[in-house]
Structure 1
Amino acid sequence: MTNLSRSPFTDEIEQEEPPREFSMPHFTSFKEDEDLERHLKHYQSAMILYRNNDALMCKIFATTLQEYSSYRSIKKKSDYLFDVKKNPNESLRDYVRRFKADKARIVGCSDSIASAAFQKGLPVDHPLFGKSIMKEDLTLADSFTLAEKHALWDEACQCTFKDLKKYSTSPP
């Protein structure tokens, strides 16, 4: 929580006071669906008298982004994927779908890291875990293909088990 209240600026910028004659121009806060380039040009033209005061330019510009910062999502890094685990009651197909969605939100995530994280997210007692450990040079695409085959197998077994259970409990 202490990091939330800390200023993003260096102490030098933070301690800089605005000039006495400074009057805050009116700015519309930037929204994430707007053109950032246009917002920046508007800001620079409104602050033209103070363009040589870097500290003031930084401080004031940050106030125009308040609305933007409340809407933007926190960017996740590749190591986040190592926290994605298959839940005990989750189907393999749903785990794959959720993992793919989480990976898609991470910019620059390599397939080798994602593949290792996908494997780590499987329960150790799941047959797919053993197969993925034993295969060398298993790409992420290969892991997903193998997972799809296992998902089909799991679903077929569940259907067969349900059918057997249904017929075994009904009287002849």
Structure 2
Amino acid sequence: MSKALSQISRSPFMRWNEGRRLPPWFTQPTFTMYNGRTDPVEHVNHFNQRMVVHSKNEALMCRVFPSSFGPMAMTWFDGLRAGSIDSFKELTQAFGSRFITCNRIPRPLASLLSLSMKEGETLKTYSDRYWKMFNEIDGDFDDVSIGTFKLGLPTEHGSRKSLTGKPITCIR
């Protein structure tokens, strides 16, 4: 146990950041805790958004970032070599490299084009599934998405007839 406590008491930050205290005026925002299973890029982005007013304070960013880690990420952080991190950029790159397998991969447009309403599925369920998929696709496909949503509905469905009668030009 003493070896484990010794390991976590060593800071992975370089000397310039070692022993720096948080400013007395600093109020830490609430973060979404990183659980080791979600996209690390999204987590860093969320952290940066919450800390935007402090983004120029390198030491503060480095010191506060680990407070957004859940147990799995804290285990990784505690295992970093003493003095191995020199900047917030290095810290986030190391974090992203460690949890790269959790990166969100954008879905191809084909996954949206092949979506259709299942037999017995409600319009709400189909719509939720469709727009969830739409949001997982990178790119500007608004014009395609409206048409494929309609085509995914069965030909006899009342909503399809209603949607085909009215030209829809915007999904927002």
- TM-score bucket (shorter structure): 0.3 to 0.5
| Higher relative contact order structure (alpha carbons within 8 Å, sequence separation ≥ 6) | 2
More helix by share: 1
Normalised by the length of structure 1, the TM-score is: 0.42
Look at both structures and tell me which one has the larger radius of gyration over its CA atoms: 1
